[in-house]
Structure 1
Amino acid sequence: MASPSVTKLFNYGILLSTVLIITLVAVSVSSFQFQVGGDRGWINPAVNETAEDYNKWAEKNRFHVGDVLYFEYQNDSVLVVNYTDYRDCIVSNPISKFEDGNTVLRIDRYGFFYFISGQPGHCDAGQKLVIRVMVQSAEVQTPASSPKENGDSGDDGWDSFNWGPPSMNSTIKLSVASYFLTILGGVLVIFYVFM
């Protein structure tokens, strides 16, 4: 028969494993992958006259820090640009350029992101996208007026992006599901301690 200390150690091992699993599930629940443009992908709208406008597609979705954008395309490119280059379809000075046909970008901050095609004429034909990543904290205030209302050029002030996993000092907030799973983990801890 096992001694009480070995049984207690075993229970703590189970508890630690449970908390680890709950944490991993919470992180995976809090982000989504979006295929830009849905099933049709990132294509020149002039090729498909019935294609939905990319910004109408974006309006149907809610983007959050940690979400992933997936651009699928052939013989094209994805340029990450500032507001002015987005508005005027300027391809000469992108913040980032991708040409691999399967571009995956992890959103690492809230705010606006601007994308255009790097192929001549595609942006002017409508192959451009702006997404707004939702603020996930009540601490951050939204602007009182839009750039057009206050006479601003509309440039969002960010001129570089860090596409990839968020840094260790990231201010990513957990989703409601993550909070629920954390509370569930706490209940399990209390249950194991008092058993």
Structure 2
Amino acid sequence: MASRSPLHSVKLFVFLILLSASAFLKDAATATQFRVGGPLGWRKPTGFESETYNQWAGRNRFHVGDSLYFKYQKDSLLVVDKGHYDECNTMNPLSRFTDGNTTFRFDRFGYFYFISGQSGHCKAGQKLIVRVMVHPEMIPAPAPAPMSVPFVGSSPTSWSGSPDQPESSGSWRIGKTDYVLAIGLIGVLAWQMV
């Protein structure tokens, strides 16, 4: 058996380091942090906001690994179940945060319910439902559109020909293919440099 050169061992070591680092960086590269309430933060609505917390959540897409950042003063954040959310019940929350700077990371898909712990704030609209979707790489491709059937009869009086397009959340998400290509390119460059 032929012995390996020291250069080969160094290249293999560099490649293994890059591969290990990429496993840790993937979650960070694909996760997005959303700031709840924008620059004003998590606070009791005044009635003059352009949208409610739930309207904001409805126009964003949340995935496992993403997080919400809550900035608040003289308030608290409670993670509750649906029943407590519906009733604005602050007793026995799943989690309670009072530090004024809370980052909540989504570790599963499904629904998450948030309310203020301050008396009267939840009933005034300081509450949020977030639906966390399965990560994009896990979502199967949509089924092909059905074949069109010849139309017989009168024409419809109105027709909305364009499908609903999701609004951009202002965030950027790296796809699995882009991630693999980037790591591969880094590996090749590192291999050539050694």
User: Would the TM-score normalized by the shorter structure come out above 0.5?
Assistant: yes
1:39 maps to 39
> 2:29·2:174 contact (CA, 8 Å) conserved in 1?
no
Deviation by residue 1:9-60 (Cα, 9 ceiling, x = unmatched): 12212322332344344221111111111221100003x6235310011112
Alignment RMSD:
2.7
Give secondary structure in 2 for the equivalent of 1:17.
Answer: helix
1:177 maps to 175
Name stretches of at least 5 consecutive residues in structure 2 with no aligned partner.
141-172
Identity, % of aligned pairs?
44
Q: Distance in 1 between matches of 2:83 and 2:63?
A: 23
Q: Larger deviation: 88-97 or 16-25?
A: 16-25
Alpha-carbon distance, 1:80 to partner: 0.7
1:27 maps to 27
TM-score, scaled relative to structure 1: 0.68
TM-score, scaled relative to structure 2: 0.69
Regions of 4+ moved over 4 Å: 183-189
2:124 maps to 125
Aligned residues: 154
Name stretches of at least 5 consecutive residues in structure 1 with no aligned partner.
140-174
CA distance change for structure 1 residues 184 and 34 in 2, over 3 Å: closer, same or farther? Answer: closer
CA distance change for structure 1 residues 113 and 67 in 2, over 3 Å: closer, same or farther? Answer: same
1:111 maps to 110
Q: Distance in 2 between matches of 1:117 and 1:58?
A: 16
2:64 maps to 65
Q: Distance in 1 between matches of 2:116 and 2:25?
A: 35
Give secondary structure in 2 for the equivalent of 1:94.
Answer: coil
Written as runs of structure 1 = structure 2, the 5 A alignment for 1:93-108 is: 93-108=92-107
1:88 maps to 87
Q: Distance in 2 between matches of 1:4 and 1:88?
A: 69
Q: Distance in 1 between matches of 2:91 and 2:26?
A: 41
Amino acid at match of 2:128: L
1:172 maps to none
Query: Which structure would you say has the larger Rg?
Result: 2
